Amino acid sequence: MTSVPTTDASVAEDLPAPPEGSKNPGLAFMIPLAFAVVSVNAGLLAAAILTLSLKSAAIGGDSATTVLSIVVGVASIFALIGYPVIGRLSDRTTSPFGRRRPFLVLGAILIVLGALVILSAASTLLLTIGFILMMTGSVSSLVACLAVVPDQIEPAKRGMPSAMIGLGTPVGALVGLFIAQLVSPNLAAMILVPSGLAAVASLVFAVVLKDRQLAPEERPPFAATDLLGTFWVNPFKKPSFGLAWISRLLLFLGVSAVNAYQAFYLIMVQHVSPQEVAGKIFIATLVLTAMSLIFAPVAGKISDKVGRRKPFVVISAIVFAIGLGMVAIASSFSGFLIAIAIMGLGQGVYFAVDFALVTQVLPDQTNPAKDLGIMNLASNLPTSIVPAIAPALLAIGASATNPQNFSSLFMFGAIAALIGGLVIIPIKGVK
């Protein structure tokens, strides 16, 4: 089995070996995995980017941004808890159906239930509960999908599956928004169809997944003193994992700024009518995803071939930051699309190779779901941080003619992403 590449054996961390018997499965595994990751992201992001904004406007009127911030902020807290907790539960599951499959099924159920509550919501409270259910279901399915990569694929061959998982976010957003735009303005269909696709895809992957049953004696030990470890990996003992975590947190501050406030930005700054915003967001997402689809698989394959991850992650984060900085100063919709294209190039390559890098610095290669859950805190914390700080950022330099300063919000995200790219450089144990 190929060992994890190191930059300097004398200073590299003592990284655990990958699990014995990595099968490196082929297309019969890869295609349903990609379908599940894309579809779950489609259901979640169609809500986060578009339909939650529309429901917030229907419920809150002029206070729609406040309603959206409450809904996304509170639901994100459940995601923050859910990723490591569900990951640890999955690692310890001795079900005869395997340790990942039950969480794919649970995810499908919660996604559908959440969509139904969102559709019927007539208050901020009910809208929040619905998104909590949808978010938790998506987390459950994605935890299972992410964990099967280190479960079944050796480190040197994770570039392409990492690219597939990384593309799940932009492609999922494109698919979800395409479906929503296709059935617009039927809000019920805009909510239920992407969610239904997510549930079906999770169940399909659950059926085809060859998920090994965990024997009771293989179950990771757990005591009350281990509770904190569900949410924590000591960055002083595992500095490479800690640096990768910080990098992802900073990059996703920029991603979250665009995802959460794109609809309001187009309406308030680009003067797009609420009736046309779904179509405009779809065009922007199409441009972003096309760039990701072109460059991410190539980057993943080259990364595997040359045995390097860090240069791809660093450069792509810098490119993403440049694109987001251009969004901040865009004066037209065409300028916005050019900036989005540059963001898509950087985001696609980052998502593709970063996951492969992360799997190589996991503290426990045989029980990866919990630590991947902790890593996903870095992806999801920004969805709570951005709504919390956005009102202050939007108020910077605000005026009667420009009551919401989106430029300051997006520039903040660009600076964070730039720093996030540079944080990767000191990581040891991965080239």
Each domain of the chain, given as residue ranges in start order, spans: 27-214+238-423
- Mean per-residue pLDDT for 410-423? 90
The answer to whether the beta carbons of residues 324 and 410 sit under 8 Å apart is yes
What's the pLDDT score for residue 340? 92
27-214+238-423, CATH topology level: Growth Hormone; Chain: A; (1.20.1250)
**Residue/partner pairs of 282-286 with CB below 8 Å, 24 or more apart:** 282/174, 282/177, 282/178, 282/180, 282/181, 283/337, 284/336, 284/337, 284/340, 285/49, 285/170, 285/173, 285/174, 285/177, 286/174, 286/178
For residues 258 and 278, give the distance between their C-alpha atoms in angstroms, rounded to a whole number: 15
With contact defined as beta carbons under 8 Å apart, do 302 and 407 qualify? Answer: no
Residue type for 137, please? G
**SS3 state at 289:** helix
pLDDT in tens, 124-135: 999 999 999 999
Report the distance separating Cα 390 and Cα 116, nearest Å. 29
Cα 329 to Cα 316: distance, rounded to the nearest angstrom: 20
**Tokens found for residue 329:** 């100063």
Q: What is the pTM of this model?
A: 0.71
pLDDT in tens, 338-367: 999 999 899 888 877 888 788 788 777 677
| 7 class by beta-carbon count within 10 Å (0-12 exposed, 13-18 middle, 19+ buried) | middle
- Packing angle, helices 101-120 and 187-208, rounded to 10: 170
Orientation of helix 124-152 relative to helix 368-395, angle to 10°: 140
Top pLDDT among 229 and 394 is at 394
